[in-house]
Structure 1
């Protein structure tokens, strides 16, 4: 019986191998790149009827009498586009003027719990850098003194070098700054 099982297994393996060999030798149809594909698809293509668009000629408007005071449309005026453009630019200008604050930078020169030291830092800024505005904020129990309204970090870095002579722990922080005050800040090279 064991011999019958091994004989059956061998027979099945031989059968599988024979099928694989026979299928590998079968003729395959391969489309060569040299052959041309030809099929008429005109029966399934959509058909459209072309109609020539009609040309409409406008009748010339009757010329008004010389005495009539009927104003022409704004389109006929040569400066019509310029007037519209100016009104849009005026609107944009008003919107831009209403913007007061932008993202910018300030220099923090003091952080601590002593009010006298915060006031001393504030007065130092008034004396040494009159064009910079000090801002003192208090969040219990901490006083913070920030200086300046800088639109660009590079401007704040110039002042930072000068301020660090007195306050070594001064750092630049991102903050909302007043646009008008930032335009009034003179370059740090003027304070040397």
Structure 2
């Protein structure tokens, strides 16, 4: 059982809950009156001025001019400067003789006759390729071709491999004119 004091507290709490649920709208946050204050005294005022536009009317000469009409040509100083710069660039490009490219090394060894044989094989089989023999004691190296692109060197490498199985592609400085002379495609070349 509940004590009389706890019964009273329970009844008062229930009564308060019933009264609060039946009450009107809350006054917090919503009010029926609206805020009204005239702020026009403190707001800045701007006036719009319509811009003046004039219509274009071609000038009518009142008297015929005494000077003959001469067509004005565009200034040539821009063209002259441009031509000078282009000539400078062309001259610099003509001075470039070598580019980083690729060569196929077909022989590395100590026997001079074998190096000469590899060089003559290149001249006979691929006349469009140049052969380069170098000697660094005691080793001879024979490299062939002047290729600007690795893909071109790989095509010729497949044709050289049956004779020289140890042939590899190496990076090297190649002469631009000679690399442009290699026009025969490795796919069409049969030996």
TM range (shorter): 0.5 to 0.7
What are the residue-to-residue correspondences of 1:7-22 with 2, within 5 Å? none
Which residue of 178, 186, 189 maps to 1:188?
186
RMSD: 1.5
Structure 1, unmatched stretches of 5+, are: 1-65, 67-75
Q: Distance in 2 between the 1:161 and 1:79 partners? A: 56
Name 1:164's counterpart in structure 2: 161
Question: In structure 2, the residue corresponding to 1:189 is in which secondary structure?
Answer: coil
Q: CA deviation at 1:77?
A: 5.1
**Residue in 1 that maps onto 2:150:** 153
Q: Which residue of 2 aligns with 1:173?
A: 170
Output the CA distance in 2 between the equivalents of 1:153 and 1:82: 40
Give the match for residue 3 of structure 1.
Answer: none
Aligned residue pair count: 118
Match of 1:79 among 69, 76, 86: 76
Q: Give unmatched runs, 5+ long, in structure 2.
A: 1-66, 68-72
Once the two structures are superposed, the pairs formed by residues 135-150 of structure 1 within 5 Å of their partners are: 135-150=132-147
Bigger fraction of residues in helix: 1
TM-score, reference length from structure 1: 0.59
Q: TM-score, normalised by structure 2?
A: 0.59
SS at the partner of 1:190? coil
